[in-house]
Amino acid sequence: MAQNFIIVGCGRVGSTVAKRLDSMGHDVVVIDRKKDAFRRLGDDFKGRTLTGVGFDRDLLISAGISAESAVMAVTSGDNSNILIARVAREMFGAERVVARITDPRRAAIYERLGVQTVATVSWASKRLFQMILPQNGEVEWIDPTAQYSLVERRVSAALAGTRIDATGAHAALLVRNGQASIPEGSVLLQEGDNVHLLATTAEIAAFDALAAGQKGGH
């Protein structure tokens, strides 16, 4: 099912993510202050482009923003990205918002406010996909026997309050409010946590089913 993605900033990261989402059949709108930046999208890009600043309310409305939209603020400036993220969340109620913030102290603050963050260009594209499409998160590692995989998942509301060991998957790493830790099985998951699961395909599928609210019980 096609989803609405609004990407502000058509640099290396923004254009890479936009082209991939577009190739997956999603509704993609790219915003940039410079019209020339859209050249990075290539001739095959089927989405829309809008010229202007990403925190402009009218421009976001033109982009079709709603509470269901996924908004990615990946311009070259932390301040602009923070402002875009705040407008998307506070004015339009968008829940899936990711901002590129290079200052780790500021990133931690905004993670606590519900804005997911990425930092350097070198790994931002991959992280954006894992954050914005958690149900289709890329496999980070597969063991030589292909029995176990390491994947990242973002904890949904359906999983909030669930013990990690009750999910059936082993959490190798937990990232909460910008802080990483190796969690005990008794730790209760919170909505918005990012967990790196080391598990079998069946265990990952069971975790995803719980996250989607398909099975009851905490």
Regarding whether 16 and 99 lie in a shared domain, the answer is yes
Q: Looking at the domain assignment, is residue 147 inside a domain?
A: yes
Residue 139, exposed/middle/buried by CB under 10 A (0-12, 13-18, 19+)?
exposed
Q: Looking at the domain assignment, is residue 145 inside a domain?
A: yes
User: Residue holding tokens 């804005």?
Assistant: 115
What lies within 8 Å, CB to CB, of 216 at 6+ separation is: none
Q: Does residue 58 register a pLDDT over 70?
A: yes
Q: Looking at the domain assignment, is residue 31 inside a domain?
A: yes
- What is the CB neighbour count within 10 angstroms for residue 171? 23
Query: How far is Cα 92 from Cα 174, in angstroms, rounded to an integer?
Result: 29
pLDDT tens-digit series, residues 24-41: 888 999 999 999 999 999
The whole-number average pLDDT for the span 37-61 is 95
Rg for the chain, CA atoms, rounded: 18
Q: Looking at the domain assignment, is residue 216 inside a domain?
A: no
Regarding whether 174 and 114 lie in a shared domain, the answer is no
Residue 29, exposed/middle/buried by CB under 10 A (0-12, 13-18, 19+)?
buried
Regarding whether 119 and 87 lie in a shared domain, the answer is yes
Joined together, the tokens standing for residue 100 give: 């590129």
CATH of the domain at 204: 3.30.70.1450
Half-sphere exposure of 103 (CA within 13 A, CB side): 9
Helix axes 78-90, 104-112, angle to 10 degrees: 0
Regarding whether 157 and 198 lie in a shared domain, the answer is yes
Total domain count for the chain?
2
Q: Looking at the domain assignment, is residue 217 inside a domain?
A: no
Regarding whether 140 and 121 lie in a shared domain, the answer is no
Which residue segment(s) compose the domain that 170 sits in? 136-211
Residue 31 phi, psi (nearest 5): -115, 135
pTM: 0.61
CATH of the domain at 115: 3.40.50.720
Q: Looking at the domain assignment, is residue 218 inside a domain?
A: no
pLDDT tens-digit series, residues 112-122: 777 777 765 55
Of 72, 98, 132, the position where a domain reaches its end is: 132
Q: What letter would DSSP give residue 142?
A: E
pLDDT tens-digit series, residues 82-141: 999 999 999 999 878 888 888 877 877 877 777 777 765 555 565 666 566 655 455 667
